[in-house]
Structure 1
């Protein structure tokens, strides 16, 4: 496995040991060998993330070519620059390339106006080129798989997101009556979520709604500022994991899944 040093917020297993060191190898939790590469963190915003991904992708291509012999190269997006790195490594080593598309790229970049103007055409061509050259493309939805097939991508399969049932408790229903409606959003606070609508809705509902936003993302500072300007009481909490997530669900009446519809 080739990936940058962990640097975009600590997860449940984060430590100075697990985050790794650039150009060093470490053993993962299930025995996998992780080759860490450098990163360039200049801010949690669109330009900063792109620069960071470009640096890590370039280093990943170099490190990937030097890791010895493998049977296949697997790359996961939405880190789009990594697609090109994986294609280079697969061609250098003469092994198949499997591309896992976690999001509907390049459609998402265009629909959400992540890229504009001439850069839109460049990004689209680059992503489509790698998808067409891959030996297998994996999607998480049947709909996007069909879109890729209609675009001419030859081998596409769908592997949906799943859960471990033995680790997923069956939660009781919320109380029938409460003084306020407890509403929870738990996830990324990015551009695609359009969480400002949720904050504005809480403002319109007034004291009848208690809104909690759990997570991290580039739009979180702006959301906090919006809540302050509107005078709405929103609880902003850092990311939570595992058992804490289920405890948060159990204390909630309604859970919001929020995505832009454009």
Structure 2
């Protein structure tokens, strides 16, 4: 079996974009030429490297492994050439996380690291796992419903789920609330099919609470903003700041939310990644 180093490098760029137009533009080659490189690479390896999921291109498990190897190979080559030339390699560590993690958990870590030492990817938890599996990101941070068995996962920090209520609301005097207390209330909730929305609906149904949707909103900042405007009550992660004029009451019968750090088992062998891991855990203790 022979594998072209050029094809590996091209596949790594394609895996970053999962779009032939953008990848070909970055590589300064034509789309047909990129198609040929990846098709030949797949033929040499004897495995399909990507497939279509509706209108999207998605890496196969083998494609993730090839992309991870290609990126690792590129990093090691860059490191070797820098050391050979007597220079210091400046390749950054790549961190993938969602909006909530960046807003409420990772700010101190990002602030203390020089921009050249850290590159950030903003994505949901599925995209984060794919980025770590394919080597696009060294580390990922997210709330996970199911822990992957092919990656190393450690707990970062845990928060209760809390109800945001106006200070004058009937529930504002409670030390904590339960889901039956929300009977008859209108709630600001994430869009349908989001994990938080699905869990909330199932829990409210099991508690027998008859509630209604005040508005669907994407992301904790907008959800808490609508709650502060009086549109409806909202259940958010306990790390979300309480808006002025609102109270945050723990919801006793909802499970706490845990943020996890995810990486390849060998990732901490890289001192840069090990240092970032230490910073992440130190900033949330």
| Normalised-by-shorter TM-score class | 0.3 to 0.5
Q: Which structure's residues are more often helix, by fraction?
A: 2
TM-score normalised by length of structure 2: 0.31
Greater RCO, 1 or 2 (C-alpha within 8 Å, sep 6+): 2
Q: Which structure's residues are more often strand, by fraction?
A: 2
When Rg is computed on C-alpha atoms for both structures, the one with the higher figure is: 2
TM-score normalised by length of structure 1: 0.33
